[in-house]
A and B are shown apart, each in its own frame.
Chain A
Amino acid sequence: MPIPYQKPPAPSDDKRWKIVETRMRRMGDRPGALIEALHAAQEAFGYLDDSALHFVGDTLGVPHSRVYGVATFYSFFTLKPQGEHTCVVCTGTACYINGAKEILVEFDRKLGVKPKETTADGKVSLLTARCIGACSLAPAVIVDGEAKGKVTANELVAQLEAM
């Protein structure tokens, strides 16, 4: 006799877990929903912590090792909390030959952050993307979800410092 499967309770009464639960339920709580569920959790909480990984894995019946494996395989998922503001610098070819490298150098020089790091005061997280597809605006960045094109290193860093 198989033991009747019980869905695990949400890690806390935070309402955002409902969003994650709904997204998984819509896909039948099957293991195939893993990536979608991680997307939902990251959209809701900004990053994936241990409780999120456990909850998603237990609900979908996926071993924790595999959940962790998937969450670390894909560069879009982050296991660390992000700063107040995020700045994604596109490092696609067009941006690269139009000065994305200089932007990253400027970040390191002025704010002391390298890609995937957050400033000490928790204000700005610096991320890079392979290509955001805004090649005609090279070099392009995404500041807090809003794309900006033809940026210069000086102006961008000054703007983020002022935030």
Chain B
Amino acid sequence: MSEMPAAARPVRRRAITEETHEGPPRATAYVCEAASCMSAQAHDITLRLGERTARAGLGDVEVKRVGCLGLCAAGPLVEIAETGQLFERVRPDDVEPIVKALKKVKPADTRRSQGPFFEKQVRVATENFGRVDPESLEDYLARGGYEALQRVLSEMTSAEVREEITRSGLRGRGGAGYPTGLKWTTVAKAQGTQKYVICNADEGDPGAFMDRSVLESDPYRILEGMAIAAFAVHATEGYVYCRAEYPLAVARLRTAIRLAQRAGWLGGGIADTSFTFDVQVRLGAGAFVCGEETALIASVEGRRGTPRPRPPYPAVQGLWDCPTLINNVETFASVPAIIRKGPDWYAGIGAGKSRGTKVFALAGRIVNTGLVEVPMGMTLREIIDDIGGGIVDGRPFKAVQTGGPSGGCIPAEHLDTPVTYESLIELGSFMGSGGMIVMDDTSCMVDVAKYFQDFCRDESCGKCVPCRVGTTQMWMLLDKITRGRATLADLAQLERLAGIVQKMSLCGLGQGAPNPIFSTLRYFRDEYLAHVVDKRCPAGVCAIEQPAEVMA
């Protein structure tokens, strides 16, 4: 691919405003062009705003498309960089207020507070969100991009890099929280001349969109993080395994790879050293189980994505039987910042054994749906009430679901729990990749459990019996309960079966599948009993069948 002449490559440019002004612009309008705002004509807004500012003679104003500004609920969003003024729900035919505000910007202006949604966040993995043009390498470099890789290549040994990551306390952000430094060390010490780095961007949890946002908003960061990891574990080839359902993320990632290759940040002899590393994109094809690392490897190899028993772990025997490092998108996104600002800085954020920050996707019945990054150890209440703005229509909070189909529902009485890997497991839930779905009294918890069971039943790859058969049987029992036809014996059977599936399944999908059932039984048993004994659904969601007339 690299022998194509530079000019022939289809690179999209963002030349929206004519650059007649010398020096830095007086005012800048950031237009959010991540998937969520894009689906509400954000690109038209960028074009229109560029056109209007040019017509108004504002040559010293820059209009720039940026990645996710975070507050997806109020999209499409436009932000004026100098004052921090945020325009919400902008329509392409109504950009005049923004043009007026841009006219008024003075050099002495400082950014005003944007409210708790923004102020309470600590941005590490998402520090460039809403600040850089996702496809512009210059923008990324201007914000300290590739400084970390440069430093790693020129000043550090691979052992020192692994040591820094270990000291930072970074743990896998894909959900299980395996210490990243330890994983890197295992791969580095594994026997083999060829090693691989894989970025797991198969974000399958419904209700989670952190990985998508990172890829859409700051793709170079992933490439830099992967390159640092490759240096630390002596790998030369990398793959990003991304869902095909994220076309914008894939397109931006491919552009970033092309531009990084051209600028010498990928490929042979990076930054005038002997270090060689290249990245390819592999598309998933809609199989949730491919988020499991051995299934993911099978899929990258072009096979059905079915997991295999571990050990051997991929760190020893992974892709094409070579030692392979697999980390999540967010983990790689945290790496450049750790190298740049030092492991002690990173380890200084967080609580207990969970250091640093975590990105969460807030969704469901919450006012400020969107993407937030908070320090570990922040309480659920702060995340949901202060940052999330509480429940839609002022309805009562019922539960927050974390961890996707392997996670659980946390009720109101535990809202003051600090969020760490350990505390969530204690509550019967799971960190997962970071989806947080808030539910109010319009959700029936039995129905929610059934929904997740339906998901697992459908996504089970069918390789091992406990998962293939167990998830279907559990779904049937839940279906029976929601139709008001179950007995207490059915409920006992459900609990017994859930325990079996949890202990006997081969991979995380089956082992985690009973979690939604366990957690809803633990906190909302009364709802189950209402369905089973009183034959009614307290939330009015389930269609309870009226019992047939008893024959005399």
Q: Which residues of A contact B (CB under 8 A)?
A: 26, 31-36, 38-39, 60, 62, 66, 69-70, 73-77, 91-94, 96-98, 129-138, 140, 145-149
Contacts and interface: CB of A to CB of B under 8 A. Distances in A.
Contacts of A38: 285
A94 B448 CA distance: 11
A134 B36 contact: yes
Nearest to B280: A27
A133 B246 contact: yes
B206 interface: yes
Nearest to B443: A97
9 contacts: A35-B282, A35-B285, A39-B285, A94-B364, A97-B443, A133-B209, A134-B35, A135-B361, A149-B39
- 9 closest Cβ pairs, A-B complex: A136-B72, A74-B285, A92-B206, A135-B363, A76-B286, A136-B369, A147-B39, A34-B302, A133-B209
A136 B448 CA distance: 19
Most buried by B among A35, A36, A69, A91: A35
Contact of B207 (A31, A60, A66, A94): A94
Contact of B75 (A75, A135, A136): A136
A126 B203 CA distance: 23
A76 B442 CA distance: 32
Contacts of B299: 35
Interface string B179-216: 00000000000000000000000011111110010000
Contacts of A135: 207-209, 361, 363-364, 369, 435, 437
B207 A146 contact: no
B36 A137 contact: yes
Contacts of B231: none
Contacts of A66: 303
Given A69-B304, A70-B304, A130-B204, A93 B364 contact: yes
Given A135-B363, A135-B369, A136-B75, A96 B451 contact: yes
Contacts of B363: 93-94, 135-136, 138
Given A38-B285, A140-B39, 5 more contacts: A35-B282, A130-B288, A135-B437, A138-B363, A148-B39
B444 to A, nearest CB: 10
Nearest to B462: A73
Contacts, number: 140
B401 A93 contact: yes
Contacts of A70: 302-304
Most buried by B among A36, A74, A145: A74
A35 B283 contact: yes
B497 interface: no
Interface of B: 1, 35-36, 38-40, 72-73, 75, 203-209, 212, 244-247, 282-288, 299-305, 361-365, 369-370, 401, 404, 435, 437, 439, 442-443, 448, 451-452, 455, 459, 461
B302 A136 contact: no
Contact of B245 (A69, A73, A132): A132
Contacts of A145: 247
B73 to A, nearest CB: 5
A62 B302 CA distance: 10
A141 to B, nearest CB: 10
A147 B37 CA distance: 10
Given A35-B283, A74-B286, A130 B206 contact: yes
A92 B208 CA distance: 9
A32 B301 contact: yes
Contacts of B207: 92-94, 131, 135
Nearest to B75: A136
Nearest to B244: A76
Contacts of B287: 73-75
Nearest to A90: B206
Contacts of A134: 35-36, 39, 209
Contact of B282 (A36, A93, A131, A136): A36
A149 B369 contact: no
Given A76-B244, A133-B246, A36 B283 contact: yes
A74 B203 CA distance: 15
B204 A33 contact: no
Given A94-B364, A136-B369, A131 B208 contact: yes
Given A33-B302, A39-B285, A73-B305, A137 B212 contact: no
Most buried by A among B35, B363, B369, B461: B363
A55 B451 CA distance: 39
Contacts of B452: 93
Contacts of A74: 284-287, 305
A39 B305 contact: no
A136 B362 CA distance: 8
B77 to A, nearest CB: 11
Nearest to B249: A133
Contact of B437 (A26, A69, A73, A93): A93
B204 A97 contact: no
Contact of B451 (A60, A93, A133, A136): A93
Given A92-B206, A97-B365, A149-B36, A133 B245 contact: yes
A133 B404 CA distance: 13
Given A131-B204, A133-B246, A34 B303 contact: yes
Contacts of B285: 35, 38-39, 74-77
Contact of A133 (B40, B203, B443): B203
Contacts of A98: 364-365
B302 A131 contact: no
A31 B401 CA distance: 40
A57 to B, nearest CB: 11
Nearest to A150: B40
Contacts of A62: 302
Contacts of A34: 302-303
Nearest to A62: B302
A109 B471 CA distance: 29
Contacts of B370: 136
B206 to A, nearest CB: 3
Nearest to A73: B304
Nearest to B301: A32
Nearest to B369: A136
Given A93-B437, A97-B437, A146 B39 contact: yes
Nearest to B288: A130
B209 A35 contact: no
Contacts of B204: 130-131
Contacts of A148: 39
